[in-house]
Chains A and B, each alone.
Chain A
Amino acid sequence: MKILVPVKRVIDYNVKPRVKADGTGVDLANVKMSMNPFDEIAIEEAIRLKEKGVATEVIAVSIGVAKAQETLRTSLAMGADRAILIQTDEEVEPLGVAKLLAKVQEEEGAGLIILGKQAIDDDSNQTGQMLAALLNLPQGTFASKVEVEGDSVSVTREVDGGLETVKLSTPAIITTDLRLNEPRYASLPNIMKAKSKPLAQKTPADYGVDISARLETLKVVEPPKRTAGVKVADVDELVAKLKAMGVAA
């Protein structure tokens, strides 16, 4: 069974994003970029399934600028077998991404497609569910445990009240939550090896998909700022404040 893992190049999760003064977006010039953390978890899960003998091949796919190659090389260094870059300078929305991924799946016929549940830049949390809809496949979102059993997969999901387990027929779509696994670091020899693994270059036009934006961003602003308040010296002073607020009797 093949596993397809879409990955996105995003601002590094340790960097505090700055809104551009002209209100057109977030300033990404000279900012450290990395693989979306949820996608790292997706790659890790796919590699583990390959190591267990469940999967035969792990294919990483990215849609984005030429530099998204770096993200794909990271996937390859972690253990993916080959990569596909669908290169575009346009910002592609989750719906467009899902349409492109649906075309890739038509060619690849993967048994599982594992995606991060959301990208930490646009925080949409949509692509996996949309892809499942377009392909008419089952979806196991926000996964904290994945077990492949023959031609079905059992997915434990992190939901508002706790955990829920669903059984999906394969092929299936899975989106990862934080506690599915801890992604490995790529070793230096594997980083070197990744340089010679195959990376196919495509464009959205190759797949005949219209990726024009449906949402127009009118402006981007900073949220209202909170300012630091007061520091109290001891518990008694804190208790007095709580009483004054009516929180404590």
Chain B
Amino acid sequence: MKTLVWVEHEGGAVKDATLSAVTAAAKLGEVHLLVVGEGVSAVADAAAKIAGVGKVHVADDAAFGHALAENVAPLIVELMGHHDAFIAPATSNGKNIAPRVAALLDVMQISDILSVESEDTFTRPIYAGNAIATVKSKDAKKVITVRGTAFEKAERDGGSGTVEAVASTGDKGLSSFVGAEIAKLERPELTSAKIIVSGGRALKDGPTFEEVIFPLADKLGAAVGASRAAVDAGYVPNDYQVGQTGKIVAPEVYVAVGISGAIQHLAGMKDSKTIIAINKDEDAPIFQVADIGLVGDLFKVVPELTGKL
């Protein structure tokens, strides 16, 4: 089987989510990559070095600058003429583009796979991860998104793929990019961090959240996350959200501060290796999944912890 993997990149570098997708694709067969963007030759060169990669298709065009699904999907459909599976990491780009490709190919997409059982059979989470379904695809071609935390990352080095330019399919004129407010990260990125400190609604407001959570995160070299309640209340922006519909994370250590443990939050972090919960309510559901729990007032406990580390 020949697979085509969407390369997620930013600032000229291949993102980790791509490496997990490559591992999933390698279980199906030959791995070809697709680098789409404007001025992406450095990305293509980096992608060609990923272990196990064959061809790297590069579509470099202004129409692809912001990965608009309307422009990118027709390009992928064309390339799918000689590939058997399109595989994208379940990033916001992957989730935006893959279903558009699937419908154009008349294929039912398999979202957010956790494992590859065979060429046509996969497991995926349903009901916020409260059930795991094994599904078999009857479509001749496959369109798949991959949950990054479920697959090891392929090595960034050791590969010797060949870079090949593909012609642009042009701007379809349906949509245009206006602007972006992308947060400047001073800390590790959530989806690839080894340690995450997350705060919940109990943090009261934005300044308090920063005052309590940020110093602990910095002491641990951790990324900062938040529950949906904290994001909805405006303490931190949307890109901090961990949960069923936010980011799915599985760090070595996840520290949940003032988070009660709603089903949709657990769905985003329960595959973390070690979960530490700090909450004043000893009956909070988060303690049912936590490896280490500390019952106490977070406003006293967290600064004390930060001080003692």
Question: A56-94: which have CB < 8 Å to B?
Answer: 93-94
Q: For A245, list chain B residues within 8 Å (CB).
A: 253, 274
Whether B108 contacts A95 by the Cβ 8 Å rule is yes
Contacts A130-B103, A226-B289, A231-B293 given: A121-B68 contact, CB under 8 Å? no
Residues of B within 8 A of A38 (CB): 245
Please report which residues of chain A, range 84-110, place their CB below 8 angstroms from some CB of chain B when the two chains form the complex. 93-95, 98
Chain B residues, Cβ within 8 Å of A218 = 121, 134-136
**Complex contact B136–A229 (CB within 8 A):** no
CB-CB nearest in chain A for B175: A138
Partner of B291, one of A127, A138, A177, A229: A229
Q: In the complex, A223→B66 CA distance in Å?
A: 37
Residues of the A chain whose Cβ atoms lie less than 8 Å from the Cβ of B305: 235, 238-239
Known: A158-B238, A159-B92, A160-B92. A123 touches B125 (CB 8 A): yes
A139 to B4 alpha-carbon distance, docked (Å): 23
A133 and B294 contacting across the interface, CB-CB below 8 Å: no
Cβ contact within 8 Å between B103 and A134: yes
User: Which among B104, B231, B244, B263 is the interface contact of A123 at CB below 8 angstroms?
Assistant: B244
Q: Is there an interface contact between A169 and B175, defined as CB atoms closer than 8 Å?
A: yes
A167 and B245: CB pair below 8 A? no
> Which A residues lie within 8 Å of B238 (CB)?
144, 158, 162-163, 177, 179
CB-CB nearest in chain A for B123: A221
A contacts with B, residue count (CB < 8 A): 81
Please give the distance in Å from B297's CB to the nearest CB on chain A.
Answer: 11
Q: Mark B270-301, 1 if CB is under 8 A from A, else 0.
A: 10001110000010000111111111100001
Of B95, B183, B232, B292, which is within 8 A of A178 by CB?
A: B232
Q: Name the residue among A160, A165, A178 with the largest chain B CB count within 10 angstroms.
A: A160
| Bound Cα distance A26, B131 (Å) | 8
Assess A220 versus B70: contact at CB under 8 Å? Given A160-B247, A167-B178, A169-B175. no
Q: Evaluate contact between A138 and B174: CB separation under 8 angstroms.
A: yes
A21 within 8 A of B: no
Please classify the interface of chain B as helix (H, G, I), strand (E, B), loop, or mixed, using the class held by over half of its residues. Answer: mixed
A223-B111 in contact (CB<8A): no
Question: Contacting A219 at CB < 8 Å: which of B73, B133, B247, B276?
Answer: B133
Tell me whether B103 and A98 are in contact (CB under 8 A).
yes
Given A215-B110, A230-B293, A238-B276, A95 and B92 contact (CB-CB distance below 8 Å): no
Chain A residue contacts of B121, Cβ below 8 A: 218
| Structural contact, A162 and B99, CB atoms closer than 8 A | no
Q: Which of A123, A131, A141, A215 is B127 in contact with, Cβ under 8 Å? A: A123
| Subset of 11 A-B contacts with CB under 8 Å | A124-B109, A133-B73, A141-B69, A159-B239, A160-B191, A164-B66, A165-B178, A215-B110, A219-B134, A220-B132, A245-B274
